[in-house]
Amino acid sequence: MEYDKVELVLGPERLRRFPPIDEHDFWCGQYTAAEDGASPPEIKIEVVIADLSKEQLRHFREHLEWWDEEAKELIDGPPEDTDADGVVPALRVRFNGMYDLEEDDFIGQTYFCWPEPLEEREPDKFYTSDKRRCGFLLLRTLRTGSRALSLERGSLLDIILKLQEKRPQMWEDVLQQARDVTVAEAEELGISETLTQVQNAIRNIVPSEWGENPKMKISDLTREILRKTLTVFMSTGIKDSNGADVLVPFRKQGTGTVNTLVLALLKMIAELKEEVIFAMEEPEIAIPPYTQKRIIHSVRSSAAQAIFSSHSPYVLEEFEPDEILVLQRHQGQLSGKKATLTPSVANAGRYRIEFRRALCEALLSRRVLLTEGKTEFDAISLAARKFGVLQPAEFRSLEELGLAVVDVEGDRSLEPFANYFRGLGKTVFAVYDEQPEPHKTRIRAALDHAFESDKHSFEDVII
């Protein structure tokens, strides 16, 4: 996912994972030099951060450049150019990653891009403390939710504690309590007897004081193990036979509950920081439509910037068309096009209805089938599904073919809608009644695949 690239640059915890990159991050998995003497491939990712807060401007003052918001490019001209409208201070940082042949491993580091380093001098490093001031949080719904209330590094609870500058002084006490707990010491369980046999076997090989008195313990009893093990338990709403609440680990709650919990923690983080950039993957997973809308509204109102990847029309509906990018990947190159309004949408009222009913599903699909009325919309979808059941070797339903069906409400809308969807990189089909020239020629030119009836109405086709 493209979020991973931004996380390599801005994620405070990402570079703690070692190695930070692997073979699959390189194009076609090629991470060594193609031929002897050639330089090995290098991953370079640059991110420009604008709309900086006063605190960020102060902290990064030595590394600021100037950004033209309209042209979407850095200013590289005389100083007076920086006084122009729409030119703002910005921070540019980058990640460099490669395979180190001598170490036989992957390495990576993040740097400020400005000022450019002098010859044979490493650029200034962009440290974890700097990244925290940028406030980038990547939230993968399933993975983030599974450890949100643990003390694992980078969890949401860990982030909140760091923002509150709290360092729980509990590790030694907890470790000592755990050291005093032994497991399965009762003789009838058989584990103690087996461990004694292990000890005797060791004594036949090494001095008697080695390998003495083996015991079964809870874990390795290190701080790092505790971070991954300790977790918050929450009530299930059920009482046991003694009337006490039944508690389970929070991640054992329903997926929708866990995701809603993630939202609550996000709001806490946003309130603790002045500037937060949220990136969320699939916020709709296991959450009903009305909650999806609440999540999007809540996160957007709390964050300096919010970026979502989604396959839910209810999520898309919360954004204006020029805020939506339809993404496509071809030969490793990712591109995006804005989903501007269709030419046939005359006013905002119709847009709200039409967008939810027709456009959302089409924006999320690679292929679009246009029909000119509700009758065709219903009948063609049903017929395709029925043929798929009766003759599966020859036919498949439109859903199986990945076709989103859009009713454009009249043959005069076929051409503008076809041009709109093709402009977004979709493959466009249409089924429609016989058309007069020159309208017929224009419709065919706008479509990838045209299916024109030789009848003047769909009812005549049925008859």
Per-residue pLDDT tens for 185-197?
Answer: 776 666 777 777 7
Instruction: Name the residue with tokens 């998995």.
Output: 29
Q: Examine the pLDDT at 347 and tell me if it is beyond 80.
A: no
Mean pLDDT check: name the lowest of 73-77, 149-153, 371-375, 412-416: 149-153
Average pLDDT, integer, range 262-276: 78
Residue 447: band (very low, low, confident or very high) from pLDDT cuts 50, 70, 90: very high
Instruction: Tell me the pLDDT band of 145, cut-offs 50, 70 and 90.
Output: low
Q: Distance between CA 5 and CA 99 in Å, rounded?
A: 17
Highest mean pLDDT among 160-164, 179-183, 430-434: 430-434
Residues 235-250: b if buried by 16+ CB within 10 A, e if exposed: eeeeeeeeeeeeeeeb
Q: Per-residue confidence at 321, pLDDT binned at 50, 70, 90? A: confident
Model pLDDT, residue 187: 67
Query: What is this structure's pTM?
Result: 0.63
CB atoms within 10 A of CB 289: 13
CA–CA separation, 368 vs 200, rounded Å? 73
At 305, the amino acid letter reads Q
Query: How far is it, in rounded angstroms, from Cα 435 to Cα 156?
Result: 59
- Compare 415 and 301 and report the one with higher pLDDT: 415
pLDDT of 419 above 70: yes
Q: Exposed e or buried b for every residue in 183-221, given b needs 16+ CB within 10 A?
A: eeeeeeeeebeebeeeeeeeeeeeeeeeeeeeeeeeeee
pLDDT for the residue 177: 84
Tens of pLDDT, residue by residue over 354-401, are: 556 567 788 888 899 999 888 888 888 899 989 989 999 999 888 888
Would you state the structure tokens that stand for residue 307, as one six-digit string? 């970026």
Report the pLDDT averaged over residues 323-337.
Answer: 82
Task: Indicate if the pLDDT at residue 208 is higher than 60.
Answer: no
What's the pLDDT score for residue 144?
60
Output the pLDDT for position 232: 83
Cβ pair 132, 110 in contact under 8 A: no
Beta-carbon neighbour count of residue 138 at 10 Å?
22
Give the residue with greater pLDDT, 130 vs 267.
Answer: 130
C-alpha span between 87 and 56 (Å, rounded):
17
Rg (the chain; Cα; Å): 30
pLDDT tens sequence across 41-58: 999 999 999 999 899 999
Highest mean pLDDT, choosing among 47-51, 138-142, 357-361, 403-407: 47-51
State yes or no: pLDDT of 435 exceeds 80.
Answer: yes
Phi, psi for residue 4 in degrees, rounded to 5: -60, -35
Residue 402 has pLDDT above 50, yes or no: yes
Q: What percent of the chain has pLDDT over 90?
A: 21
Question: For the residues of 308-330, what is the DSSP string, one character each?
Answer: EE---HHHHTTS-GGG-EEEEEE
What does the pLDDT average to over 165-187?
77
- Give me the pLDDT at residue 52, please: 92
Structure tokens at 163: 């923002």
**217-241 pLDDT, tens digit each:** 777 888 888 888 888 888 877 888 8
User: Residue 219: its pLDDT value, please?
Assistant: 79
Q: What is the DSSP string of 25-90?
A: GSGGG--S-SSTTSPPPEEEEEEEE-S--HHHHHHTGGGEEEEETTTTEE--S-GGGGGSTTEEEE
Is 342 a residue whose pLDDT tops 70? no
What pLDDT digit, counting tens, does each position of 84-115 carry? 889 999 999 999 999 998 888 999 999 999 99
pLDDT at 428: 96
Instruction: Give the domains, in start order, of the chain with CATH numbers.
Output: 2-134 (no CATH), 164-248 (no CATH), 345-462 (3.40.50)
351 or 446, higher pLDDT: 446
Q: pLDDT exceeding 70 applies to what percent of the chain?
A: 90
Q: What is the pLDDT of residue 346?
A: 47
Between 73 and 152, name the one with better pLDDT: 73
